[in-house]
Amino acid sequence: MNEKYKGTTVNERLYLSGTLNNFDRAVEEKNIGEVTRILKNVDVDDSSIKAILEQMGLIDREHPQL
């Protein structure tokens, strides 16, 4: 993990990286690929990305698109 993000929440990471607005836009557009790319760029692991996508209603728990 990038030391810059150690001990930070996902929202803090998005803010610190300057990608919060892009992330919000990607979520609004339901652009799963872009949401995933942004989260990976701020060192969010795959299992957490899946949970975030599920929580936001972008993927279905029983029929994941990842």
List pLDDT tens digits, range 25-61.
999 999 999 999 999 999 999 999 999 999 999 998 7
The pair of structure tokens assigned to 57 is 């209603």
Q: Alpha helices of 1-66 — where are they, by DSSP H?
A: 10-17, 20-28, 32-41, 46-55
List pLDDT tens digits, range 2-20.
788 999 999 999 999 999 9
pLDDT of amino acid 2: 72
Task: Name all contacts of 34-41 with Cβ < 8 Å and 24+ positions apart.
Answer: 36/66, 38/14, 39/10, 41/17
The region that residue 2 occupies, defined by phi over 0 for left and psi between -120 and 50 for alpha, beta otherwise, is beta
CA 21 to mean position of chain CA atoms = 12
Can you give the pTM of this predicted structure?
0.87
